[in-house]
Amino acid sequence: MAQRAVWLISHEPGTPLCGTVRFSRRYPTVEKRARVFNGASYVPVPEDGPFLKALLFELRLLDDDKDFIESRDSCSRINKTSIYGLLIGGEELWPVVAFLKNDMIYACVPLVEQTLSPRPPLISVSGVSQGFEFLFGIQDFLYSGQKNDSELNTKLSQLPDLLLQACPFGTLLDANLQNSLDNTNFASVTQPQKQPAWKTGTYKGKPQVSISITEKVKSMQYDKQGIADTWQVVGTVTCKCDLEGIMPNVTISLSLPTNGSPLQDILVHPCVTSLDSAILTSSSIDAMDDSAFSGPYKFPFTPPLESFNLCFYTSQVPVPPILGFYQMKEEEVQLRITINLKLHESVKNNFEFCEAHIPFYNRGPITHLEYKTSFGQLEVFREKSLLIWIIGQKFPKSMEISLSGTVTFGAKSHEKQPFDPICTGETAYLKLHFRILDYTLTGCYADQHSVQVFASGKPKISAHRKLISSDYYIWNSKAPAPVTYGSLLL
């Protein structure tokens, strides 16, 4: 007997979503067992947003839900058990135990240790009765002696740690959460919390939470047979939490779209209080497969006063955002260059800026240039022996652009001209510089509606993301030998 996930949802008629997820917890180890037991009939536990919408629809709690819908409202669907099947993404999630009490919806998904097709009788699913016991235990804990919203928020903030004892790995050990509360020695609601030594003060002002996801993409492209191009994405999630109280608790969820690339090698800030094992064990060393954990990635934490890096991650995206070809060939006293760039169709074609820097090391100043470009503008820095191809904010509809031309140099002056021990002869590169706002290559995003804050006041929550190039090189395909990242560190 085990539970795959549990939710507490406040019913809020008149609001856009008609409800808010106040607490949720998933158990990845149980989810893996469900995938094995259910086989082809397995339906994954959805993210909080789709689950909230589907559950409120099934419970007839949406404000605009006044029409008769046969699949839900017909006489054959009269429900007397508080056990539902939720239609999410064209698949039915069953069984879902859910009931409404004191404007709070309690819901969980029990593990079914057999195939779901055909649907087994409820009496054979032992996790259902355990699910009711689990939810009734949470209800008793939240509302026993509870007098106001402040006390309710305090108890909600205690749930993550309580469930580590009462329901570890999705298996209920003790439905009386008050016992777990006594065992963990939580400070009484009537007693003031002590200021931790690492927190030098408290915040006073309007509550707000700011989340920023920055992904940097690195690439080395050679366009040579037998030599593989390489690329990598490194992400950083930065947070700034202005919240009143000594020890406010926040939970942020990172989500991926259906075709998103799973996050790996995740490192978290010391303020993170707990993590699912699937997050910690996802490594880029392991071969990628369909069973790789793809979120949501939940990070419960007690934030410091200053801005901090909540976590770092890497990801193995299938293709680099811009594919390039660069050819430089010496012809007597001049160089002939040819450059082709192609933006991948899956990448957002809306840059804050995009430039290609084409340096010519160990040569004299540029004295003459003839070129032809299909798109953008070319700037010439003669003394620096540098060309900058300004592509702008968008690629054309074809997603492909080209630049070709010949460059002539004057006599070398060692005092002024750039020197590089690697880029000699025909060994040369161009380097791309770009930034795309409101976009990440993995698809990773922080859903503002899924952010849970256990503190006084309702905070303003903002989330931003961006993709930035970093060490994005395209090497001359005529170069005698490839250059690696290690070579650039010499």
| CATH at residue 301 | 2.60.40.1170
Please give the average per-residue pLDDT across 232-242, as a whole number.
95
Task: Give residue 184's pLDDT.
Answer: 57
Say what percent of the chain tops pLDDT 70.
88
Please enumerate in sequence order all residues whose Cβ is within 8 A of that of 318, keeping only pairs 6 or more positions apart, or say none. 261
Task: Give residue 488's pLDDT.
Answer: 47
Least reliable range by pLDDT among 62-66, 112-116, 291-295, 404-408: 62-66
Greatest alpha-carbon pair distance for the chain in Å reads: 91
Q: Is the pLDDT of residue 301 over 90?
A: yes
Task: Give residue 218's pLDDT.
Answer: 95
Sheet containing 208-221: give its strands across. Answer: 264-268, 308-315, 230-242, 208-221, 460-475, 429-437, 353-359, 386-390, 377-381
Least reliable range by pLDDT among 19-33, 104-118, 270-284: 270-284
Higher pLDDT, 59 or 79: 59
pLDDT tens digit sequence for 350-375:
999 999 999 998 888 899 999 999 99
On whether residue 197 sits in a domain, the answer given is no
Residue 229 in 3-state DSSP?
coil
Higher pLDDT, 421 or 339: 339
pLDDT tens digit sequence for 387-408:
999 999 999 999 999 999 999 9
In this structure, what token pair is assigned to residue 469?
Answer: 């190039």
Rank 71-80, 107-116, 377-386 by mean pLDDT and report only the highest.
107-116
The verdict on 6 and 78 lying in the same domain is: yes
The verdict on 63 and 107 lying in the same domain is: yes
The verdict on 260 and 300 lying in the same domain is: yes
Give the per-residue SS3 of 254-270: EECCCCCCCCEEEEECC
Taking the C-alpha atoms of residue 17 and residue 63, their distance in angstroms, rounded to an integer, is 9
On whether residue 459 sits in a domain, the answer given is yes
Q: Is the pLDDT of residue 279 over 60?
A: yes
The verdict on 427 and 453 lying in the same domain is: no
Q: Is the pLDDT of residue 205 over 50?
A: yes
On whether residue 199 sits in a domain, the answer given is no
Task: Give residue 490's pLDDT.
Answer: 36
Q: Residue 435 phi/psi, 5° resolution?
A: -150, 135
Q: Is the pLDDT of residue 174 over 60?
A: yes
On whether residue 276 sits in a domain, the answer given is yes
Please give the average per-residue pLDDT across 54-83, as a whole number.
70
- Work out the pLDDT band at 72, boundaries 50, 70, 90: low
Pick from 214, 164, 190: which is nearest to 463 by CA? 214
The verdict on 134 and 172 lying in the same domain is: yes
- Work out the pLDDT band at 166, boundaries 50, 70, 90: confident
Please give the average per-residue pLDDT across 449-472, as a whole number.
91
Q: Is the pLDDT of residue 235 over 90?
A: yes
The distance of Cα 361 from the centroid of its chain, to the nearest Å, equals 40
Cα dihedral 362, 368, 371, 377 sign: positive
Task: Give residue 419's pLDDT.
Answer: 82
Please enumerate in sequence order all residues whose Cβ is within 8 A of that of 147, keeping only pairs 6 or more positions apart, or say none. none
The number of residues in the chain equals: 490
Task: Give residue 69's pLDDT.
Answer: 63
Q: Is the pLDDT of residue 5 over 70?
A: yes
Residue ranges making up the domain that contains 99: 1-180
Rank 40-44, 156-160, 410-414 by mean pLDDT and report only the highest.
40-44
On whether residue 468 sits in a domain, the answer given is yes
pLDDT tens digit sequence for 403-437:
999 999 888 776 667 788 888 888 899 999 999 99
The verdict on 237 and 358 lying in the same domain is: no
Domain boundary among 134, 165, 180: 180
The verdict on 256 and 330 lying in the same domain is: no
The verdict on 311 and 407 lying in the same domain is: no
The verdict on 220 and 366 lying in the same domain is: no
Q: Is the pLDDT of residue 440 over 90?
A: yes
- Work out the pLDDT band at 189, boundaries 50, 70, 90: very low
423 DSSP 8-state letter = -
- Work out the pLDDT band at 449, boundaries 50, 70, 90: confident
Taking the C-alpha atoms of residue 26 and residue 211, their distance in angstroms, rounded to an integer, is 22
Number of domains in the chain: 3
Do 431 and 472 meet the contact criterion of CB atoms below 8 Å apart?
Answer: yes
On whether residue 486 sits in a domain, the answer given is no
The verdict on 1 and 19 lying in the same domain is: yes
Please give the average per-residue pLDDT across 151-179, as a whole number.
86
- Work out the pLDDT band at 489, boundaries 50, 70, 90: very low
Residue 472 in 3-state DSSP?
strand
Strand segments, DSSP code E, in 126-222 are 208-221
The verdict on 121 and 232 lying in the same domain is: no
Q: Is the pLDDT of residue 238 over 70?
A: yes
Q: Position of tokens 């690492």?
A: 198
Residue 462 in 3-state DSSP?
strand
Quickly count: other Cβ atoms within 10 Å of residue 156's Cβ: 19
pTM assigned to the model: 0.63
CATH number of the CATH domain containing 171 = 3.30.450.60
On whether residue 483 sits in a domain, the answer given is no
- Work out the pLDDT band at 143, boundaries 50, 70, 90: confident
The verdict on 29 and 90 lying in the same domain is: yes
Task: Give residue 33's pLDDT.
Answer: 93
**DSSP labels for 49-74?**
HHHHHHHHHHTT--TT--S--HHHHS
Least reliable range by pLDDT among 125-129, 177-181, 303-307: 177-181
On whether residue 109 sits in a domain, the answer given is yes
Mean pLDDT of the chain: 86
Do 237 and 211 meet the contact criterion of CB atoms below 8 Å apart?
Answer: yes
Taking the C-alpha atoms of residue 283 and residue 256, their distance in angstroms, rounded to an integer, is 17
Taking the C-alpha atoms of residue 391 and residue 351, their distance in angstroms, rounded to an integer, is 10
Taking the C-alpha atoms of residue 195 and residue 201, their distance in angstroms, rounded to an integer, is 8
